[in-house]
Amino acid sequence: MRILHLDAGKQMRGGQWQVLRLVEGLAAAGVESTLLARRDGPLLEEARRRRLRVTTLGWTHLALLARRHNVVHAHDARSHTMAAIAGGAPLVVARRVAFELGRGIGSWWKYRRARRFIAVSEHVKRILMAGGVAEERIAVVADGVPLLPLSEGARVVTPGDGGDPLKGRALAVEAARKAGVEIEVSSNLEQDLLTTGVFVYLTRNEGLGSAALLAMSAGAAVIASDIGGLREVVRRRENGMLVENDISAIADAIRELAGDRALARRLGQEARRTVSERFTVDRMVRETMEVYQQVLP
């Protein structure tokens, strides 16, 4: 089985890291993959650094390679459009975002071209169905993350927003100030999680939340927005805290976990167990391969 992966992302965000983990996991399972990535994007550079089979995403490469692979797997909206136009092998589309589907004729045509959709959560599946995609064309395959070394620190950390106005970096910083707790904005998440005790992940729209999963894998206590697919990951006061996007509510949660290390450790331990049981890379790879098998002739 040969899979052609497409990703047109301009930045290294959660979706791009998931593409890399999937391609590497497929290789370990004996599945050959080729990745087409944006010429000026960091995904191309990172894939080359990891010695993966990768080249630039463009119409010529796509038209040629789509007919030399068994499945085309588009990982974002731009590459979905390109794959739908180019044709070739059966098309599988990953859907990680929680936005409503477009209602125009172009959107209708594009979504009709995919054989299967891989929704990152039940929340995203419901959005696809509300947009007219039949349930039998949707498989739910959650993100998979590596189990990071157990955190040894007590820092309070929030991720950078990459310029995304829907992410809540500013809200987290303001809430921490109100709580009287120092918070750090991460620019290197995996490195910073080695010494993170509390991870604050706030957003106004979320398909699942792979950064929150990564923090949970390190045993950090996660404070997350009570929204979208995050509700399928974080269980209130069992393996983390869900909060409204309200400064006072977020500040209360930060103050409590920063001041109660025993509670933070207990939530972090259960969070790590959640990842090891439900959100591994191996599980993501296995379930994705099952979708591929469904579209093969």
Q: Which tens digit of pLDDT belongs to each residue from 181-204?
A: 999 999 899 999 999 999 999 999
**Are residue 8 and residue 133 in the same domain, yes or no?**
yes
**Are residue 165 and residue 235 in the same domain, yes or no?**
yes
Radius of gyration of the chain (CA): 19
For residue 161, the model assigns a pLDDT of: 73
Q: Say if 150 falls within a structural domain.
A: no
**Are residue 87 and residue 51 in the same domain, yes or no?**
yes
Q: Say if 13 falls within a structural domain.
A: yes
Q: Say if residue 90's pLDDT is above 80.
A: yes
Q: What is the DSSP track for 133-190?
A: --GGGEEE-------PPPP---EEEEE--TT-TTB-HHHHHHHHHHHT---EEESSHH
Q: Say if 148 falls within a structural domain.
A: no
Q: Which tens digit of pLDDT belongs to each residue from 193-235?
A: 999 999 999 999 999 999 999 999 999 999 999 999 999 999 9
Predicted confidence band at 168 (pLDDT cuts at 50, 70, 90)? confident
245: containing domain: 155-278
Which of 271, 283, 281 is closest to 241 using CA atoms? 271
**Are residue 134 and residue 193 in the same domain, yes or no?**
no
SS3 state of residue 57: coil
Its pTM stands at 0.94
Going 163 to 165 to 168 to 174, the CA torsion angle's sign is: positive
**Whole-number percent of the chain with pLDDT over 70:** 100
Q: Residue 202 maps to which CATH number?
A: 3.40.50.2000
Q: Say if residue 162's pLDDT is above 80.
A: no
Q: Say if 288 falls within a structural domain.
A: yes
Q: Say if 149 falls within a structural domain.
A: no
Q: Say if residue 95's pLDDT is above 80.
A: yes
**Are residue 270 and residue 210 in the same domain, yes or no?**
yes
For residue 102, the model assigns a pLDDT of: 87
**Are residue 14 and residue 112 in the same domain, yes or no?**
yes
**Are residue 129 and residue 170 in the same domain, yes or no?**
no
Q: Say if 231 falls within a structural domain.
A: yes
**Are residue 110 and residue 133 in the same domain, yes or no?**
yes
Q: Say if 33 falls within a structural domain.
A: yes
Give the span between the Cα atoms of 138 and 223, in whole angstroms: 30
Domain count, the chain: 2
For residue 214, the model assigns a pLDDT of: 96
For residue 103, the model assigns a pLDDT of: 85
**Are residue 10 and residue 130 in the same domain, yes or no?**
yes
**Whole-number percent of the chain with pLDDT over 90:** 92
**Are residue 267 and residue 168 in the same domain, yes or no?**
yes
Which of 74, 7, 5, 61 is closest to 35 using CA atoms? 5
Predicted confidence band at 131 (pLDDT cuts at 50, 70, 90)? very high
**Are residue 284 and residue 202 in the same domain, yes or no?**
no
Q: Say if 251 falls within a structural domain.
A: yes
Q: Which tens digit of pLDDT belongs to each residue from 267-297?
A: 999 999 999 999 999 999 999 999 999 999 7
* Residue 183 CB partners (closer than 8 Å, separation 6+): 156, 157, 158, 172, 173, 176, 200, 254
Q: What is the DSSP track for 176-210?
A: HHHHT---EEESSHHHHGGGEEEEEE-BSS-SS-H
Q: Say if residue 11's pLDDT is above 80.
A: yes
Average pLDDT taken over every residue of the chain: 95
**Are residue 15 and residue 61 in the same domain, yes or no?**
yes
Find the mean pLDDT for residues 118-140.
Answer: 97
